[in-house]
Structure 1
Amino acid sequence: MSGPEIHFDPKDHQHLRYNPLRDSWVLVSAHRMKRPWAGQVEKPLEEHIPRYDPHNPLCPGNTRANLEVNPDYESTFVFENDFPALQPNAPNPGPDQHPLFQSKAARGVCKVMCFHPWSDVTLPLMTKEEVVKVIDKWAELVEELGATYPWVQIFENKGAMMGCSNPHPHCQVWASNFLPNEPALSDRCQRAFYEKHKEPLLLQYAKQETEKKERLVVMNADWLAVVPYWATWPYQLLLLPRRHVLRISELTTEERESLADIMKRLLTKYDNLFESSFPYSMGWHGAPTGPHLKEDNSHWQLHAHYYPPLLRSATVRKFMVGYEMLAQEQRDLTPEQRERGTNVWTSSWQALSLAGSVSVQDICFEPEIQKRDKHQIPFVCLCTQRGKEEGYKIQRGGIGFAPLHDHVEGSEPPVAPSAVSSVSLSFGHPEVSQGKGPPNTVLVARAHTCNVATLASSLRGSSTHTACTQIR
């Protein structure tokens, strides 16, 4: 006698999802998130990173391993990697002796790009103008290296959990005389889709996700970021332009500015998710370069992948081991499902959508505290509108900031997160004091000073109780 018919529910029943960029399948086992966690817990993330470290080889004015001295740079800074994985003049390995033992020549260049002269800032903490300069430099490097090499890979490993040994904000750019495995596979898949459907795969996907809004995290006029339907990592993101663009060097000025805006928003959401500086590996994929510049690459669409390792908290990560290494990719949390429990309180899409997206606004209290150098300390005030009657309230120290004080004296370290209190804010963004602005928007007022007491004294002139804190 057969039992009652079971209706499929993606959040309760395992199933496979197709990844069209890799022509592969991902096993989704959403019901496994109900199991208690007894696995490895990582050490808490580093909370105290000095703005300038005389021993850090990426800081301005410091000497690197090859004894070259960095300039006193004030924006981005690019240099040849002192320990490159690819070199331009490597010898050819010669003819193969057996079909099971093949080798080919591998040549290229590896560069390191510093985003900012300060070690204690990350992309979401930088101003929009500073992030635009990073994007401009990315585009410049793709154009410069892509004139010769078939592939230029821009990637950032953020956080020690992702193998980053230096906290200074930076990325790497590797150019190679060959098309690496992942972009070669993506090229084949996008080409096959284009030949069949006469439209770029990722352009069609962006349209579908914009309409469905099931996995959409952030979007503006030119860009959207989604947790992809086939995501393997819990908080994986795919960043896409909304028009057909082959390479990052082809972005207009307006698109670069809107890209800076959406990068700050999505990376802020990452940091707010577990109230820590969120680790990840990210990279850009665009149409091949070098000899491929003369080919028709209409099947390509520029995009960026974000692969964060975190699973349930800032100290619990997902491991790609066992079944993932020996059989196929597998994940427990679906991009859409909503789970309630001690550790899993929402889906990856909803969690990122609900995490605060902070806008940074520079403000000036007094002319003498506007100076910026590597020894100075920025201060921030966070607020979110709760309605005109309540005014703006500070709710929590987000985006990896140290927690908020509700009173500042001297240069004492910030209080613990549990001690964060709600206090009014009446300055900074022009709309704050007027009680205007979109509902539930998080705002940041940022000033730069080398003395906590000086800033606190300026703040006490406000008609309401204010709060400030140091950025890590």
Structure 2
Amino acid sequence: MSGTARGSGVPSTPHRRFDPLRGRWVLVSAGRDRRPWSGESQAVSPAAVARHDPECGLCPGNLRAAAGLDRIRNPDYAGPYVFANDFPALRPLLPDERLEVRAGPGIPPGRAGGAEELLRAEPEAGVCRVLCFGPRHDRHLAAMGDGELAAVVDLWIGQAAELGRVWRWVQIFENRGAAMGASSPHPHGQVWASASLPDEPAAEDVRQRDYLSRHGRRLLVDYAGIERAAGERVVADNGEWLAVVPYWAVWPFETMLVPVRPVASLPELDGPLRVSLVGMLRTLLTAYDALFGVPFPYSMGWHGAPGPAGATVAAPAGAGHWQLHAHFYPPLLRSPTVRKFLVGYEMLAGAQRDITPEQAAAMLRAHVPAAGPDRVR
């Protein structure tokens, strides 16, 4: 068929795909990644990293890079370690803190026009924490043993449960590699909890709620079933978790990790789902690192039912439309040094990608490790 890739129902001509999770369109321009490239080449983090770096502010026993004279020394921690971010983007508000909107210089009082509508601000409270995944400076998630990875999963769940009882949104995330702005090569993530629901999860909340009201089923549970049946965008499937390049993916090797049965939030994960998540994380991250033979940079984060009081073992009230999932956004496009930049059209018009999600999934799938014995703990 003209305009369709041979052996596939995927169009080979430029086309748009709808993102039902956020309600937006993505332009797919298949084959554009083959255009000549003389732009920036982005180096990635080196593979050889010391087990302990005496200059690292996250390694056990070292001084943190906090402002002021009273710098804090990390304990000699042996597992995951959590501390309040020394440079937080959010903090609890003091009782007397207020924000007032002013019309601006040169505008007489009472003649501000639409300033009250157009120049809006409000206080935003929250907390920020750093999540060190383990003591070793050289042990990223993909290289961890089962016990170490399980401890990280338990860490994510514990933070979601604790902070979700107080805050509206709990964003657990990891930036890996200098290409994604990681401030330290030490394996770590962060959690930012806020009083309001940010734009991305707010859009997902609306779309998932609407889908449930119309179909009586969760959007991402239905989507996981469709992808498992189709197979062409699946990277890995262990029967309980699905790693898939979304049909509407924006980043070249973007993936989504989703449980195949209904689960609203991280604290709802039972024992079997936690164990199978450990295996799926290793499978996906190993495939990433093997694709170009480098430690693959990415930003990843968990999206689950908002709080407060939403992070309990039982599903939070009114959150039956939510399905837990993790987004992985890696920037590399065609090699270890050439990355995708969201500029120009993407910033001014809309999202666009250069290879099809089906191509990206096939490339990742080719590097999924064969099943083998458990990792040494």
**Partner SS, residue 245 of structure 1:** coil
Q: 1:108 aligns with which of 96, 119, 126?
A: 126
Instruction: Tell me if structure 1 keeps the 8 A contact 2:138–2:186.
Output: yes
Aligned pairs for 1:303-382 within 5 A: 303-336=325-358, 347-357=359-369
Task: Give the deviation of 1:356 after TM superposition.
Answer: 4.0
Instruction: Tell me if structure 2 keeps the 8 A contact 1:356–1:442.
Output: no
Instruction: Tell me if structure 1 keeps the 8 A contact 2:43–2:179.
Output: no
Instruction: Tell me if structure 2 keeps the 8 A contact 1:11–1:334.
Output: no
Q: Kindly provide the amino acid, as one letter, of the partner of residue 292 in structure 2.
A: F
Task: Give the deviation of 1:7 after TM superposition.
Answer: 4.6
Q: Does the alignment pair 1:298 with 2:320?
A: yes
Distance in 2 of aligned mates of 1:331 and 1:150: 33
Highest CA radius of gyration, 1 or 2? 1
Q: Does the alignment pair 1:53 with 2:53?
A: yes
TM-score, normalization by structure 1: 0.71
Q: What is the aligned partner in structure 2 of residue 38 from structure 1?
A: 38
Q: Kindly provide the amino acid, as one letter, of the partner of residue 353 in structure 2.
A: R
Instruction: Tell me if structure 2 keeps the 8 A contact 1:203–1:243.
Output: yes
Q: What is the aligned partner in structure 1 of residue 283 from structure 2?
A: 265
Instruction: Tell me if structure 1 keeps the 8 A contact 2:170–2:194.
Output: yes
Instruction: Tell me if structure 1 keeps the 8 A contact 2:158–2:267.
Output: yes
Distance in 1 of aligned mates of 2:205 and 2:62: 41
Q: 1:104 to 1:219 in 2, by over 3 A?
A: same
Task: Give the deviation of 1:221 after TM superposition.
Answer: 2.5
Q: 1:217 aligns with which of 232, 235, 238?
A: 235
**Partner SS, residue 27 of structure 2:** strand
Q: 1:44 to 1:99 in 2, by over 3 A?
A: closer
Distance in 2 of aligned mates of 1:248 and 1:291: 13
Q: Kindly provide the amino acid, as one letter, of the partner of residue 362 in structure 2.
A: Q
Bigger relative contact order, structure 1 or 2 (CA pairs below 8 A, ≥6 apart): 2
Q: Kindly provide the amino acid, as one letter, of the partner of residue 55 in structure 2.
A: H
The answer for unaligned runs of 5 or more in structure 2 is 104-115
Structure 1 stretches of at least 4 aligned residues deviating more than 3 Å after TM superposition: 5-11, 94-97, 291-295, 440-447
Q: Deviations over 1:68-110 (max 9, x none)?
A: 1111111100000000000112522146761111011100000
Q: Deviations over 1:385-408 (max 9, x none)?
A: xxxxxxxxxxxxxxxxxxxxxxxx
Q: What is the aligned partner in structure 2 of residue 72 from structure 1?
A: 76
Aligned pairs for 1:30-429 within 5 A: 30-66=30-66, 67-89=71-93, 91-94=97-100, 98-290=116-308, 295-336=317-358, 347-357=359-369
Instruction: Tell me if structure 2 keeps the 8 A contact 1:58–1:70.
Output: yes
Q: Deviations over 1:161-182 (max 9, x none)?
A: 0001200000000000010110
Distance in 1 of aligned mates of 2:376 and 2:242: 27
Distance in 1 of aligned mates of 2:371 and 2:283: 12
> How many residues get paired?
351
Q: Kindly provide the amino acid, as one letter, of the partner of residue 355 in structure 2.
A: L
Q: 1:258 to 1:238 in 2, by over 3 A?
A: same
Instruction: Tell me if structure 1 keeps the 8 A contact 2:259–2:325.
Output: yes
Task: Give the deviation of 1:38 after TM superposition.
Answer: 2.3
Q: Kindly provide the amino acid, as one letter, of the partner of residue 76 in structure 1.
A: P
Q: Kindly provide the amino acid, as one letter, of the partner of residue 57 in structure 1.
A: G
Q: Does the alignment pair 1:25 with 2:25?
A: yes
Distance in 2 of aligned mates of 1:96 and 1:251: 47
Distance in 2 of aligned mates of 1:443 and 1:11: 40
Q: Kindly provide the amino acid, as one letter, of the partner of residue 41 in structure 1.
A: S
Instruction: Tell me if structure 1 keeps the 8 A contact 2:264–2:324.
Output: yes
Q: What is the aligned partner in structure 2 of residue 420 from structure 1?
A: none
Task: Give the deviation of 1:443 after TM superposition.
Answer: 6.7
TM-score, normalization by structure 2: 0.89
Q: Kindly provide the amino acid, as one letter, of the partner of residue 290 in structure 2.
A: N
**Partner SS, residue 317 of structure 1:** coil
Task: Give the deviation of 1:32 after TM superposition.
Answer: 1.6
Q: Kindly provide the amino acid, as one letter, of the partner of residue 15 in structure 1.
A: H
CA RMSD of aligned residues (A): 1.9
